[in-house]
Amino acid sequence: MTEIFGTTENNETVSIYKLRNENTRLSFLNLGCIIQKWETKDGNGNFDDIVTGFENVADYEQKSQYFGCVVGRFANRIGGGKFCLNGKEYNLFINNGPNSLHGGQIGWSKKIWNVENFSENAITFTLISPHLDEGYPCEVKASVTYTLLENSLEIQYTAKNLSETDSTPINMTNHTYFNLGGHQNWTTLDKHTASLTSDKFLQVDANLIPTGEIISEPGMDLTVGKKLTPEVLSATNGNNGFDHCFVFKNENSSEIKQVAEITHENGRKLVVSTDAPGAQFYTGNFLRGQTGKEHVAYIRQSGFCVETQAFPDAPNKPSFPSCIIGPNAEYRHRTIFKF
């Protein structure tokens, strides 16, 4: 099912595309590949929308904090907004303190994507990113395929470097904020229990850029599962909730592995699996209380993200798993959200 959702301030048409089965109802926008609505059943079989979002384009343009979108060309932060590659220094748009975040001023999250395939259970979005788009080298063709299975959503990211001679960094992820209480019971995260399969995370400096050190701390250990109470969130590294890239064993980059499980007292459970080396676990510490769908206020620490990805600032950290895609080479990354 396809409908017109609205028009951007640049007079671009935004369409909405819907996938459905007996367990899940999903709506996507061609603006930033946004997951606009995600309805699942609780333990009593009741449907509710469990993700942040808006009912019109203007709100996405003015109030969104990357709600539901795909971010790129490089997800997360690049320190100082620059890196060296191909014998050159590339300067990016600075939009997060001294850093470049989630692709810059007009990253892939703010672009209108093309729809190449739309079937009963899947949709594929594509985008051509030109050479020096937001400062990044090489022309790239990016693709995102959402596939709705019986009780899960699989996301397949690909990006082909179209340059014959140069390389470029690529790091794609989806930035959906979840609250498994749903919009009928959208409160802080107290009723959620989170567990991660690793207690190791990237230490960061005052500007939230990785120092290169991989550490673990008692307040950050979710391997046994903890309720996301104010006490737990204030005992984290930095004392402001989770906003950290956790590190997962990745001996075989094509292997899908479970990285997170989050449950709610109402019976909903989300299991996240990926082939990415890391995942930014974020507890919505900077949500501003903006009013979204069903007149719900998305207050601080009322939504969480599991952003599967390469390590932040990887272009400047030779010790990190490489995110550099060579001439005519292809980036691939797969993540499964299972309920």
pLDDT of residue 65: 98
Is 307 a residue of the active site? yes
Instruction: Give Cβ neighbours of residue 203 (< 8 Å, ≥ 6 apart).
Output: 210, 211, 213, 214, 215, 237
Q: Which of 134, 183, 307, 333 is catalytic?
A: 307
Domains delineated in the chain: 2-338 (2.70.98.10)
The 10 Å Cβ neighbour count of residue 325 is: 21
Residue 121 tokens read as 């259970």
Confirm whether 333 is a catalytic residue: no
Q: What is the pTM of this model?
A: 0.97
Q: What is the pLDDT of residue 250?
A: 61
The pLDDT tens digits for 276-287 are 999 999 999 999
Categorize the per-residue pLDDT at 249 as very low, low, confident or very high, splitting at 50, 70 and 90: confident
Q: Is the pLDDT of residue 251 over 70?
A: no
Chain segment 216-244, per-residue pLDDT in tens: 999 999 999 999 999 999 999 999 999 99
Among residues 175, 192, 244, 333, which one is catalytic?
A: 175
Return the pLDDT at 271: 98
Confidence of residue 319 (pLDDT cuts 50, 70, 90): very high
Mean pLDDT of the chain: 97
Answer yes or no: is pLDDT of 120 > 90.
yes
- What pLDDT, on the 0 to 100 scale, is given for residue 85? 98
Cβ atoms < 10 Å from Cβ of 200: 18
pLDDT band at 254 (very low <50, low <70, confident <90, very high): confident
d(CA 143, CA 12): 20
Question: What is the per-residue pLDDT across 290-299, written as a single tens digit (0 to 9) for each?
Answer: 999 999 999 9
Classified as helix, coil or strand, 268 is: coil
